[in-house]
Amino acid sequence: MTAWRLLVTEATDGATNMAIDEALLAGRQAGTSPATTRFYAWDPPTVSLGYGQPLDRHVDVVACRALGIGLVRRLTGGSAIYHDGPERELTYSVVASAADVGTPDLLETYRWIGRALLRGLTEIGAPAEMIPVTDGAGPTPAFCFARTGRYEIEVAGRKLVGSAQRRQGGCFLQHGAVVLGVDEPRLRALFPTTADPLSTMTSLEASLGRRPSFDECAAALRSGFETEHGLDLQPGGLDEEEMRAVERLVTERYGTVAWLQSEDRPRGLRSPRPRPAGVGDGRRT
């Protein structure tokens, strides 16, 4: 079996969650971090915007403030996702190199991860399937779950997992939301121009007739990765270098208004240069 790190982190704010994912990617690219599968949640609940997505009327910023919901911009592309707390969502991320998964192809990487997700979700009884091809017609919706991409997971034609990927050199980060349950009033308030967000999405609660816990879902997905790909996911934590990188990224990027508000970003994005530890974190966005 191939050893990977399993990282299960406590629920935290959006800036920190996105900084951890990027720190893992930078570490894997530098060869200082192992291939890692991570499961995590959000506190407070947060809307994450795609890397190049405008912060405009399609996401109601006033409603976010009124409901105590955070806002953050991801490193990955795609459309906005509302990340509820651990009672209603599990977020996964996979950080690895092309050699770790046996393919340099972007779509094959999506498929590799999708197979593991599908194996885990079917273990807890979800009648899920992986969608290999979509026509991609029409404009990109503001709400991620309004359209299914290639090798994403659906139940009865409705999207259950929303994912996005970023590639740097020979390494990639893919993360996505597994919906345990849905707070419909909040979705409607946060995405006022999405006519009926529930028409294109579903949850494990709706599929199973019960809502699995975060821990149950995490255990099933761990099993899915191990069984499908012969991995040995060994529990671990962030090392000191990764923790310093997280602090820098929160302070210089994900916790800043400039990063949140601007969708005009260079393609060759690189992590900030090292800074002394102990700087203010600016986590809330």
Number of residues that this document lists for the chain: 285
Q: Which positions are annotated as active-site residues?
A: 144
DSSP 3-state of 218: helix
Q: Which long-range contacts (CB under 8 A, 24 or more apart) does 58-62 make?
A: 58/142, 58/143, 58/191, 58/192, 58/193, 58/194, 59/142, 59/190, 59/191, 60/189, 60/190, 60/191, 60/192
Q: How many domains does the chain have?
A: 1
Does any domain span residue 232? yes
Mean pLDDT of the 250-257 span: 96
- For 40-104, give the DSSP string: E-BSS-EEEE-TT---STTS-HHHHHHHT-EEEE-SS-S-BEEE--TTTEEEEEEEEEHHHHT--
Instruction: Please check whether residue 88 lies inside any domain of the structure.
Output: yes
| 93 is a domain residue | yes
- In whole angstroms, give the CA distance from residue 266 to residue 247: 22
Is residue 21 scored above 70 in pLDDT?
A: yes
The pLDDT-based confidence of 270 (bands split at 50, 70, 90) is very low
In a domain, 284, yes or no: no
Closest CA to 198 of 190, 208, 213, 188: 188
Is 277 domain-assigned?
A: no
Q: For 189, what's the count of Cα atoms within 13 Å in the CB-facing half-sphere?
A: 14
Q: So what's the pLDDT on residue 268?
A: 43
In a domain, 87, yes or no: yes
> Is 285 within the bounds of a domain?
no
What dihedral do alpha carbons 108, 110, 111, 117 form, nearest 10°?
150
Q: Report pLDDT digits (tens) over 140-180.
A: 566 576 566 778 899 999 999 999 999 998 999 999 999 99
CATH at 54: 3.30.930.10
Q: What angle do CA 54, 57, 60 make, to 5 degrees?
A: 105
Q: What is the pLDDT of residues 78-119, one digit of tens each?
A: 889 999 999 999 999 999 999 999 999 988 999 999 999 999
Roughly what angle, to the nearest 10 degrees, separates helices 214-229 and 106-123?
A: 120
Residue ranges with strand state E in the chain: 2-8, 36-40, 46-49, 70-73, 81-83, 89-97, 129-131, 152-155, 158-159, 161-168, 171-179, 231-235
Rounded CA separation 213/215 (Å): 5
pLDDT digits (tens, 9 = 90+) for 26-47: 999 999 999 999 999 999 999 9
Within a domain: 272: no
Q: Which domain holds residue 56?
A: 2-261
Widest pairwise Cα distance in the chain: 51
Span 185-244, pLDDT tens digits: 999 999 999 888 888 899 999 999 999 999 999 999 999 999 999 999 999 999 999 999
